[in-house]
Amino acid sequence: MTAYLEKLNDRQREAVEHGIGLADGAVGGPLLIIAGAGSGKTNTLAHRVAHLIVNGADPRRILLMTFSRRAAGEMTRRVERICRQVLGENAAIMTGALAWAGTFHGIGAKLLRIYAEQIGLAVDFSIHDREDSADLMNLVRHELGFSKMESRFPTKGTCLAIYSRVVNSESLIVDVLKSSYPWAVNWGNGNR
């Protein structure tokens, strides 16, 4: 029944099988894997998740996160493929079962949607990506007349970068301008 693990090297297999098969049916604690590019991390993780499912874990209770949508999709496909290979006809449990597989941002957005009302958000809230945010900055620049002034106001990308730095550093805008955008400190004071 573990033929699907034969292509893994010893270290990968050790990670995949970590803590599975404990007497009380529990799964062992966390395992930190440090590995370089091309070492098979994605394959190992896909096998780990599939191995958990094959050994009775409920796929709806597995959180599988990665950084990109492409990687999340690839990981999900690999898990499903391995499970179909091992479980055969019983693989129907996998249909839509990895509900908590995705990117960090996607999982975060899903949690926000589930708990939107409890945390004071409208259920139909939207999340702007970087380009949406830059476009919004440009709209405000234009509405305030800054895009048509003789002395050019900072571009939408610069405005977004300034805003992001203010939020992330929890600093005052004047302090961020002084430290990172000194050329913009006196914009609008006649010192252009």
**Binding site for ATP: residue ranges?**
35-42
Under 8 Å between Cβ of 66 and 103: yes
Under 8 Å between Cβ of 80 and 94: yes
The tokens for 8 are 């893994």
Under 8 Å between Cβ of 15 and 50: no
How many C-alpha atoms does 151 have within 13 Å on its Cβ side?
A: 9
Binding residue numbers? 35-42
Cα 130 to Cα 156: distance, rounded to the nearest angstrom:
11
CA distances from 12 to 31, 100, 144, 165 (A): 12, 23, 58, 40
CA distances from 130 to 11, 101, 133, 164, 178 (A): 39, 23, 5, 10, 24
